[in-house]
Structure formats: structure tokens, C-alpha cells
Amino acid sequence: MTAGKAVLVVLDDVWSLEEVEPFRMSPGRSQLLYTTRDRGLAGSLGAESFDVGVLGKKQAREFLAR
């Protein structure tokens, strides 16, 4: 469905690896962004982790732009 397309999938408030697995994609133009309070989850997925706390609207836009 998303083959050949650039998509950003955002999952908010993820609590387990099982919630992320169906959305994982092969490397390419698409990206998966998820938020979680479980700091260990990123390591389990081999993902890059950022501790951002609570962001205001301007900060959130800047974060997504990066």
C-alpha cells in the first residue's frame, strides 16, 4: 500500500513492542515516529531515542521538522 511512497506514521502513547511491530517498515523514504513513556522500548526496536518531555506547539513543529 505504501510501496514507493514517502509516508510518516505517528503512533502516540505506545506501551509495548507488539503495538509497534505491525507498523515497522523497511528502510527508505518512509519513517515511523512513536511516543512512549517506556524508555526501554527504543532499545528493543533498535530505534533512536529522544527525551523531549512536553513540548509547546512551536517546539513540536521544530522537532518534527528535524
Cβ neighbours of residue 41 closer than 8 Å, sequence gap 6 or more:
14, 16, 17, 20, 47
Give the pLDDT of residue 3: 66
Res. 58: pLDDT tops 90: yes
Cβ neighbours of residue 52 closer than 8 Å, sequence gap 6 or more:
63
**Number of domains the chain is built from:** 1
Give residue 19's domain range: 8-65
Does residue 1 lie within any of the structural domains? no
Does residue 32 lie within any of the structural domains? yes
Does residue 51 lie within any of the structural domains? yes
Among 21, 56, 16, 55, which residue's Cα sits nearest to residue 36? 16
pTM: 0.65
Cα-Cα end-to-end distance for the chain: 26
Give per-residue pLDDT as tens, 1-49.
566 788 888 999 999 889 988 888 777 788 888 888 888 888 787 788 8
Does residue 12 lie within any of the structural domains? yes
